[in-house]
């Protein structure tokens, strides 16, 4: 089945130790999103790629970076994780802009713990 896959599902890192979260999709969607979701809160958009064009949200900390080497894969890099970065990280895709009423398809998320 076509889907959005996130690896790993659970990630533990140490304070200040760089970590990379992975997302892949078999939907061939041209837009990929990264969200941060803290406990009992709404998902917060960090950035998205429209094809190779990177779109960063204004309030996303510089500590968060992203790479999209090809259509299928997108990575979230946290350069120096702090305790406040512990959260669920959700990857999502859509075919084109949401203006076309495209649906976002979400992966299962990666829960990041920072020790």
Partner 1 sequence: AQSVTQLGSHVSVSEGALVLLRCNYSSSVPPYLFWYVQYPNQGLQLLLKYTSAATLVKGINGFEAEFKKSETSFHLTKPSAHMSDAAEYFCAVTLVGGDKIIFGKGTRLHILP
Chain residues in the site for partner 1 (CB under 8 A): 4, 6, 9, 31, 33, 40-43, 45, 48, 50, 55, 88, 90, 92, 97-99, 101, 103-109, 111
The SS3 of residue 76 is strand
Beta strands (DSSP E) in 1-115 are 4-7, 10-13, 19-25, 31-37, 44-50, 53-56, 64-67, 73-78, 87-94, 105-106, 110-114
CB of 56 or CB of 63, closer to partner 1:
56
| DSSP structural state of residue 64 | E
Q: Which is nearer to partner 1, 52 or 79 (CB)?
A: 52
Looking at the Cβ atoms of 83 and 101, the one nearer to partner 1 is 101
Question: 15 or 54: whose CB is closer to partner 1?
Answer: 54
What is the smallest separation between the CB atom of 26 and partner 1, expressed in angstroms? 15
**Can you tell me the distance from the alpha carbon of 20 to that of 7, in angstroms, rounded to the nearest whole number?**
10
In angstroms, give the least distance from the CB of 27 to partner 1: 13
């Amino acid at each position: 089945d076509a889907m959005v896959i996130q690896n790993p599902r659970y990630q533990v890192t140490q304070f200040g130790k760089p970590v990379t979260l992975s997302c892949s999709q078999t939907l061939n969607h041209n837009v990929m999103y990264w969200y941060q979701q803290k406990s009992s809160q709404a998902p917060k958009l960090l950035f998205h790629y429209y094809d190779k064009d990177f779109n960063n949200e204004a309030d996303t900390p510089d500590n968060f970076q992203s790479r999209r080497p090809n259509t299928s894969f997108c990575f979230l890099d946290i350069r120096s994780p702090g305790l406040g970065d512990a959260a669920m990280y959700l990857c999502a895709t859509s075919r084109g802009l949401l203006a076309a009423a495209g649906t976002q398809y979400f992966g299962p998320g990666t829960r990041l713990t920072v020790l």
